[in-house]
Structure 1
Amino acid sequence: MSQEDKHSKKEYMREKMMERQAEAKIVRKIVLIASLILLLVLGGTIAGGYFYINSALKPVDPKNKTEKKIEIPIGSSVSGIAQILEDNGIIKNAKVFKYYVKLRNESGFMAGEYALTPAMTFPEIIESLKTGKIMEEVVFKITIPEGKQLKEIATIIAEKTKHNANEVLTQLNNKEFIQQLIEKYPNLLTDEILNPEIKFPLEGYLFPATYPFYKENPSIEEIVSVMLDKTEKVIEEYSGPMVEREFTAHKLLTMASLIEEEATEQVQRDQIASVFYNRIDAGMPLQTDPTVLYAQGKHKEKVLYKDLEINDPYNTYKNKGLTPGPIANAGISSIEAALHPAETNYMYFLATSSGEVLFSKTLEEHNQKKAEHIQ
């Protein structure tokens, strides 16, 4: 092959290579453009979807508080309820509402006629559909203070309703009624409350709070259910710490009730809790006076030595560990103290007449303070 032919061949190959490089460059450019278009389309779709859902979650018209009568038929599904709400202009999108309800695991919607407005939020609508009470006027309220026992709560209920205290207490101890409540509140009420040593199965389970009622004479079941709903919500908030301490709701409410009954306004409840835990760890009985009074079924200003001899499962002078169940209802501060006790070496405490609580590490120290402050 001549030099001229070789040169021509090289020129031809160089031209072909340049053509392939140019084609590859064009292909890369096309792929890049196509990718950018795809990303923009996807991004636009995602962004559009986000703004669409975000808008659907908001009230239809925050300024429009005109009530609309909405009828929810018996047996309506969540999808059916959502469609009724959309058709009546209470929500923007039935599907978004349906998935919101399912993601939040909401249930218990009641059939009936509701007064709803386009200004209501999803949580307000859901609460209304579960209770039917948001747009109704309060007929009366029942206030249950902290540290109240079931007998006292029965009296409070009787004072506000047409039920008498004995009737209330009888139903709250009815085995069939208790079993129905266990089935209704499986995460709160367990077979632990059926322990034959327990005096009142629902003792400590009716949370201290003010409860509004929306009709003239609710049944005992309706009244108690409202209170148990509250207790269940409170306990759910402490599920994490309960798991860490291996506490059931029953054990938590039992410990909290002992703290509640021993506490005064001036004391740090977490320190009382620390004494109880320290004594349990040391294998010592709790020796707390309120349990003796509960065993006796009495209210007394002072516990005498002879009172400590009562043979009863609730007597923490004779029995180690916690009582079979709560001895009263407990507030948030006592529940939190039961879950988060202070870290101390205290083994004893003493309440003075002024309400101050004195803590001691040894029996000798405790007896000395007792001699100084208790006449």
Structure 2
Amino acid sequence: MTTDEKGNKKEVIRQKMLEQHHEARIVRKIVLIISIILLLFIVLIGGGGYFYIQSALRPVDSSSKIKKTVDIPIGSSVTGIGERLEKNGIIKNSKVFKYYVKLKNEGGFMAGKYQLSPSMDVPEIVSRLKTGKVLAEASFKITIPEGKQLKEIAGIMAKATHQNEADVFNKLNDKEYIKSLMLKYPDILTDEILHSTVKYPLEGYLYPATYPFYKPNPTVEEMVTAMLDKTRTVLSDYTAESKEKKLSIHQLLTMASLVEEEATGKADRKTIASVFYNRMKKGMPLQTDPTVLYAQGRHKEKVYYKDLEVDSPYNTYKHTGLPPGPIANSGRVSIEAALEPKQTDYYYFLATDSGDVIFTRTLAEHNQKKTEYISNKK
């Protein structure tokens, strides 16, 4: 074989090796792309499934006042119970109900006719089916509306149980009692509630709902336990999301309370929340009137310029960021708004005399709308 032939053969071999190397690189790229696509698909499916399940465990309608009689026959299977509940509009999905019961190893459901509501979440329904409490008429009920402050809640509790309002309020603020509750509910009652700037430790933590009791005149402790149990149940639906948003339970309830207090019946709470977050990102004070009234410890129809001078860490005209703690309790809609604000470029809003809420981007636009819509200005 001549030297030229040897050289040609080496060149052919080299070209083949280069081609094989190039093909291997292409194959690796294809495998990598397919792997990334599969991984993204798995993440999306898994994430979507998680949020779907979380949604299915929540109430069908948290604001519903409807109560339906659901008959659970003797010997009913979990599947059969789930199907009856879904058919009656009490739960969203019977299969999720079934898997929840199996995952939590629940059982021992009692037969009978139950008064259930679309406002109940799955854990509460499961608890009632296990204890059979709804088979008996509640001998006492207490309703805590949304947007109520601790002083008002103490008044509702005192009136319903014929106790002294000051005694009830003092109990709700007793340091030793608060510490005992923190030991019982460490997941929701953290050291943040004992900060020196926090006005009342339990403010915002007593969930708004109707609470049935099966004995007359429950104690303050029994009523508070029922309320905190409900708070824990509701907030458990948002644990992952609040961690993702890097919001502590205290911060979440604080923001939710601001939304609750500012919202009207016509307001989009998620847009209100967006204004607060937008202002915080720019280092602007929140300038929300309800915090000024809370600092003063009184309710007023109008806030005047002299009110804005109150010396308090709750005064969001003087201090940036969130106030030290919640200024009232809040329901699911406001909690979800605090977690999932709309993406807007609004920095101002005002409520008109008719209850409409107008959002604006600049101070000039805001002042113009105030002149146009607000008949009795501050």
Shorter chain as denominator, the TM-score bin is 0.5 to 0.7
Whether 1:322 and 2:336 are equivalent positions in the alignment is no
Q: In 2 relative to 1, CA 118–209 (structure 1 residues): closer, same or farther, beyond 3 Å?
A: closer
Q: In 2 relative to 1, CA 135–324 (structure 1 residues): closer, same or farther, beyond 3 Å?
A: same
The 3-state SS of whatever aligns with 1:211 is strand
In 2, distance between residues paired with 1:135 and 1:234? 24
In 2, distance between residues paired with 1:330 and 1:172? 18
The residue aligned with 1:299 is 299
Q: Following TM superposition, by how much is the alpha carbon of 1:134 offset from its aligned partner in structure 2, in angstroms?
A: 3.8
Q: Following TM superposition, by how much is the alpha carbon of 1:274 offset from its aligned partner in structure 2, in angstroms?
A: 0.4
The residue aligned with 1:220 is 220
Q: Percent identity at matched positions?
A: 62
Q: In 2 relative to 1, CA 124–361 (structure 1 residues): closer, same or farther, beyond 3 Å?
A: closer
Q: Following TM superposition, by how much is the alpha carbon of 1:361 offset from its aligned partner in structure 2, in angstroms?
A: 0.3
The residue aligned with 2:269 is 269
Q: Following TM superposition, by how much is the alpha carbon of 1:244 offset from its aligned partner in structure 2, in angstroms?
A: 1.2
Note the 1:185-200 alignment, pairs <5 A.
Answer: 185-200=185-200
Q: Show structure 1 runs of 4+ deviating over 4 A.
A: 100-103, 114-120, 123-126, 128-132
In 1, distance between residues paired with 2:76 and 2:132? 21
Note the 1:217-366 alignment, pairs <5 A.
Answer: 217-366=217-366
In 2, distance between residues paired with 1:259 and 1:212? 28
The residue aligned with 1:138 is 138
In 2, distance between residues paired with 1:257 and 1:224? 19
What root-mean-square deviation, in Å, do the aligned CA atoms of Structure 1 and Structure 2 show? 2.8
Q: Following TM superposition, by how much is the alpha carbon of 1:164 offset from its aligned partner in structure 2, in angstroms?
A: 2.0
Taking structure 2 as the reference length, the TM-score comes to 0.67
Q: In 2 relative to 1, CA 128–303 (structure 1 residues): closer, same or farther, beyond 3 Å?
A: closer
Note the 1:35-114 alignment, pairs <5 A.
Answer: 61-62=75-76, 104=104
In 1, distance between residues paired with 2:105 and 2:218? 28
In 2, distance between residues paired with 1:302 and 1:234? 33
In 1, distance between residues paired with 2:268 and 2:154? 30
Read off the aligned partner of 1:231 and give its amino acid letter. T
Query: Which structure 2 residue ranges, 5 or more long, are not aligned?
Result: 1-71, 78-99, 115-122
Read off the aligned partner of 2:239 and give its amino acid letter. S
Q: In 2 relative to 1, CA 115–360 (structure 1 residues): closer, same or farther, beyond 3 Å?
A: closer
Q: Following TM superposition, by how much is the alpha carbon of 1:203 offset from its aligned partner in structure 2, in angstroms?
A: 0.4
Read off the aligned partner of 1:61 and give its amino acid letter. G
The 3-state SS of whatever aligns with 2:369 is helix
In 2, distance between residues paired with 1:195 and 1:358? 35
Taking structure 1 as the reference length, the TM-score comes to 0.68
Query: Which structure 1 residue ranges, 5 or more long, are not aligned?
Result: 1-57, 64-99, 107-113
Whether 1:162 and 2:162 are equivalent positions in the alignment is yes
The 3-state SS of whatever aligns with 2:133 is coil
The 3-state SS of whatever aligns with 1:212 is strand
8 Å contact 2:110–2:131 — kept in the other structure? no
The residue aligned with 1:179 is 179
The residue aligned with 1:79 is none
Q: In 2 relative to 1, CA 316–202 (structure 1 residues): closer, same or farther, beyond 3 Å?
A: same
8 Å contact 2:257–2:334 — kept in the other structure? yes
8 Å contact 2:278–2:345 — kept in the other structure? yes
8 Å contact 1:127–1:134 — kept in the other structure? no
8 Å contact 1:287–1:316 — kept in the other structure? yes
Read off the aligned partner of 1:184 and give its amino acid letter. K
Q: Which has the larger radius of gyration?
A: 1
In 2, distance between residues paired with 1:119 and 1:140? 20
In 2, distance between residues paired with 1:116 and 1:373? 57
Q: Following TM superposition, by how much is the alpha carbon of 1:165 offset from its aligned partner in structure 2, in angstroms?
A: 1.3
In 2, distance between residues paired with 1:330 and 1:126? 24
8 Å contact 1:348–1:366 — kept in the other structure? yes
Read off the aligned partner of 2:357 and give its amino acid letter. V
